[in-house]
């Protein structure tokens, strides 16, 4: 089921409101990402918490503006503008930060880390827009906002060595570059989708609003880490089931259309 099938959401004032709100959230993500890039070089104490919180807020905004853009019916906003902002918020921003902190250990390793992560995000986004991105039941490769949240959880863990950050970045980048299917949750959510979306959003919101203290932020970070592990393990199987269901539904519609023609 897609958003245009929900009769109530087809009212003009709802579609316009969704369009304006989607634009606001998209450009808010852009502002946050650019702010984060600038603050990276000020070397603030506990900036890793700022970085993690910015990534969490951008992830929430990214999920919400995609839903709102589809409700509004704006194809250009849902694909073109959102993709450009994602390339900055989930590509350039984390790549610069990861490269910067690894460079403290080794400058060559820092440059390598940043380039690997950025290249993976950009290639994944390029591959995404080459498909039919308006509604597919799954992503090819790990979505960049999910990868960003994995990185956000990683950098606030105490005593994380720079080489661990570099190795983790390479592994995460590999998941983004892979063609492993992961659920997109783009259509009207089912009951299971709603449970997943609400639980993930709750942990990410807590992660974003809790005080700058490892004793507070570590708990939602662990919750997000558990959800990410479940997503990595169970997500591909669920995505394939969704794709099979969509194909079956398409075949049924085609059969009905042929009957009507006859």
% of the chain at pLDDT higher than 70: 72
Note the pLDDT of residue 254.
44
Q: Which residues contact 16 (CB under 8 A, 6 or more apart)?
A: 72
Q: How many helices (H) and strands (E) would you count in the chain?
A: 10, 2
Domains of the chain: 3-190 (1.20.120.1760)
CA–CA separation, 25 and 4 (whole Å): 21
- Residue 245 binned pLDDT confidence (cut-offs 50, 70, 90): low
Contact (CB, 8 A) for 102 and 166: yes
- Residue 185 binned pLDDT confidence (cut-offs 50, 70, 90): low
HEC string for 46-115: CHHHHHHHHHHHHHHHHHHHHHHHHHHCCHHHHHHHHHHHHHHHHHHHHHHHHHHHHHCCCHHHHHHHHH
Q: Which residues contact 130 (CB under 8 A, 6 or more apart)?
A: none
**pLDDT over 90 at 200, yes or no:** no
CA–CA separation, 109 and 146 (whole Å): 23
Taking only the tens place, the pLDDT of each residue in 113-122 is 999 999 999 9
Angle at 100 between CA 63 and CA 164, to 5 degrees: 80
Note the pLDDT of residue 261.
47
CA–CA separation, 59 and 38 (whole Å): 19
Residue of 173 and 204 predicted with greater confidence:
173
Q: Which residues contact 65 (CB under 8 A, 6 or more apart)?
A: 21, 22, 23, 25, 26, 29, 77, 82
**pLDDT over 50 at 252, yes or no:** no
Residue of 260 and 249 predicted with greater confidence:
249
Name the average pLDDT for the chain.
77
Mean pLDDT throughout 142-169? 86
Taking only the tens place, the pLDDT of each residue in 102-140 is 998 999 999 999 999 999 999 988 887 776 544 566 778
* CA dihedral angle for residue 116, residue 120, residue 122, residue 123, rounded to 10 degrees: 130
DSSP 5: G
Note the pLDDT of residue 260.
45
- Residue 193 binned pLDDT confidence (cut-offs 50, 70, 90): low
């Amino acid at each position: 089921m897609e958003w245009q099938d929900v009769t109530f959401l087809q009212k003009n004032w709802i579609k316009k409101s969704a369009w304006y709100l989607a634009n606001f959230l998209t450009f808010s993500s852009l502002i946050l990402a650019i702010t984060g890039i600038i603050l990276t070089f000020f070397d603030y104490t506990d900036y890793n918490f700022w970085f993690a919180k910015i990534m969490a807020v951008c992830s929430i905004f990214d999920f919400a503006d995609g839903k709102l853009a589809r409700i509004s019916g704006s194809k250009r906003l849902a694909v073109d503008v959102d993709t450009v902002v994602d390339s900055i918020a989930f590509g350039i921003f984390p790549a610069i930060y990861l490269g910067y902190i690894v460079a403290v250990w080794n400058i060559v390793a820092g440059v390598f880390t940043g380039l690997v992560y950025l290249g993976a995000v950009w290639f994944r986004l390029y591959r995404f827009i080459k498909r039919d991105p308006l509604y597919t039941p799954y992503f090819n490769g790990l979505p960049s906002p999910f990868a960003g949240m994995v990185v956000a959880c990683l950098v606030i863990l105490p005593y994380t060595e720079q080489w661990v950050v570099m190795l983790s970045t390479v592994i995460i980048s590999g998941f983004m570059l892979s063609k492993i299917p992961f659920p997109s949750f783009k259509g009207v959510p089912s009951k299971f989708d709603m449970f997943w979306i609400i639980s993930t959003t709750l942990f990410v919101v807590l992660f974003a609003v809790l005080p700058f203290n490892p004793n507070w932020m570590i708990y939602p970070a662990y919750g997000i880490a558990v959800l990410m592990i479940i997503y990595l393990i169970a997500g591909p199987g669920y995505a394939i089931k969704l794709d099979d269901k969509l194909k079956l539904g398409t075949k049924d519609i085609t059969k009905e259309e042929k009957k009507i023609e006859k």
